[in-house]
Amino acid sequence: MVQNSRSTPLFLSPPSEKSVFLHSRNKSAYNMERPNILVIYTGGTIGMMMDPEDKALKPFEFKNIRQQLPMLDLLECDITFQSLLPLIDSSDTNPQFWLRLVDMIEAEYQNYDGFVVLHGTDTMAYTSSALSFLLENLDKPVIITGSQLPLGVLRTDGRRNILNAIGFAADRKDGRPMLNEVCLFFQTALFRGNRIYKDDAASFNAFHSPNYPHLANVGTEISYNEHCLLPKSVPGTFIAHHKMDNNVGLIKLFPGINLASMEAMLHTEGLHAVVLETFGVGNAPTSPDFLKILQEAIDRDIILVNISQCKGGGGVEMQRYATGKHLADIGVTSGSDMTTEAALTKLMYLFGEGYPLNTIRKLLKMSLRGELTENY
């Protein structure tokens, strides 16, 4: 049972004259009195409104966001909005896009006390996972959010998501930002960015963290699970990484999988690694033909990472059944309780960094940013 160790009242408070005029940019420490928050809009449903003439959903000018959300002025922080152009539907997200986002955050890192990224929900879990690896030793929060309904419609969930994301980005404790990791806020929960996936295309509760507790919950009070947050990093040690290698693949097993198509995929030129989505706690067919194809890929130095296709919770324990042990015996690497999103982006990051294969195999089993449970 997870204990809530700290509760705070709502973030909202009336603007004081003093805070309204505080706009200082403190380069060496955190702005404690009135944090500066940079909100980066990248596209997606959240930034749309209905055109009164043809009733179609169209992106609105984010510089006019205060007309949509006048209550932004009640938050106790200074907020700057920037767009990462061109705006995209998140289905067009890719490693180049993640690296441009990293460039933007790195360029502004000293100027702001926290970052909010507004993003389409469809691939938001990939982006939050990728950012968690690319932004190392954060001592400030990066909170990603979006919405299921556009900000410009009456029943939008975007309003609460933006206000809470900014509130979390600006929250402070003991002279430091409360959060120092990549998080995703949606509906009533703050999640670790590399522990989630989108599991609902219709509900406002669109995201699920199968194997890690919420970092905070928003109800009438805001309560943190403080013991679940990443430990504080040493200020000044932040590193932004600028490379990703997308020579990675994904094979989801199913009964009757066509071995020729699997083999063809494993022979993709330049391929470094494949996430193998297996059954249950990491089980797979035991037929010699199936195992031979995997064995040959491993012999060609392709890393195979075992991730469970069970979405509700639990991870990979290859020693539990003979059907999993076969995989361990031929050298398949356990992905523990990582999500597929985290496993794929971790591989892109590790190969981007150019580590030797043995190091990558070791790092895959280690928690670099809280993305997995070690010794699962």
Dig out the tokens for 75 from the structure. Answer: 């938050």
Q: Is 146 in the site for ligand ASP (CB under 6 A)?
A: yes
118 — phi, psi (to 5°)? Answer: -95, 125
In this chain, which stretch among 115-123, 174-182, 236-244, 303-311 interacts with ligand ASP, using CB under 6 A? 115-123
| CB neighbours of residue 301 within 10 Å | 10
Closest CB to ligand ASP among 157 and 171? 157
Contact 143, 114 (CB under 8 A): yes
Q: Is 36 in the site for ligand ASP (CB under 6 A)?
A: no
Q: Is 120 in the site for ligand ASP (CB under 6 A)?
A: yes
Q: Which residue numbers are catalytic?
A: 45
Q: Is 122 in the site for ligand ASP (CB under 6 A)?
A: yes
**In the complex, what is the shortest distance from the CB of residue 345 to ligand ASP, in angstroms, rounded to a whole number?**
17
Full DSSP string of 250-278: EEE--TT--HHHHHHHHT-TT--EEEEEE
Nearest-CB residue to ligand ASP? Answer: 120
Residue 239 pairs in a beta bridge with 136
Full DSSP string of 150-190: -TBSTT-SHHHHHHHHHHHHH-EETTEES--SEEEEETTEE
Q: Is the dihedral of CA 194, 195, 201, 202 positive or negative?
A: negative
Alpha-carbon distance 371 to 368, whole Å?
Answer: 7
Dig out the tokens for 149 from the structure. Answer: 């309904």
Closest CB to ligand ASP among 141 and 146? 146
Q: Is 127 in the site for ligand ASP (CB under 6 A)?
A: no
**In the complex, what is the shortest distance from the CB of residue 156 to ligand ASP, in angstroms, rounded to a whole number?**
11
Angle of CA points 62, 48, 344, to nearest 5°: 95
In this chain, which stretch among 67-75, 120-128, 132-140, 161-169 interacts with ligand ASP, using CB under 6 A? 120-128
Restricted to residues 83-102, the positions that interact with ligand ASP (CB under 6 A) are 89-91
Closest CB to ligand ASP among 43 and 249? 43
Measured torsion, CA atoms of residues 174, 175, 177, 181, in degrees rounded to the nearest 10: -70
In this chain, which stretch among 119-127, 159-167, 251-259, 333-341 interacts with ligand ASP, using CB under 6 A? 119-127
Q: Is 121 in the site for ligand ASP (CB under 6 A)?
A: yes
In this chain, which stretch among 42-50, 173-181, 256-264, 316-324 interacts with ligand ASP, using CB under 6 A? 42-50
The binder of ligand ASP chosen from 31, 36, 45, 68 (CB under 6 A):
45
**How do 222-224 and 216-218 pair as beta strands?**
antiparallel
Closest CB to ligand ASP among 46 and 348? 46
Alpha-carbon distance 330 to 275, whole Å?
Answer: 15
Contact 41, 62 (CB under 8 A): yes
In this chain, which stretch among 1-9, 43-51, 256-264, 361-369 interacts with ligand ASP, using CB under 6 A? 43-51
Q: Is 164 in the site for ligand ASP (CB under 6 A)?
A: no
Closest CB to ligand ASP among 91 and 375? 91
Residue 83 pairs in a beta bridge with 41
Q: Is 333 in the site for ligand ASP (CB under 6 A)?
A: no
For the chain, state the CA radius of gyration.
22
Binding site for ligand ASP (CB under 6 A): 43-45, 89-91, 120-122, 146, 148
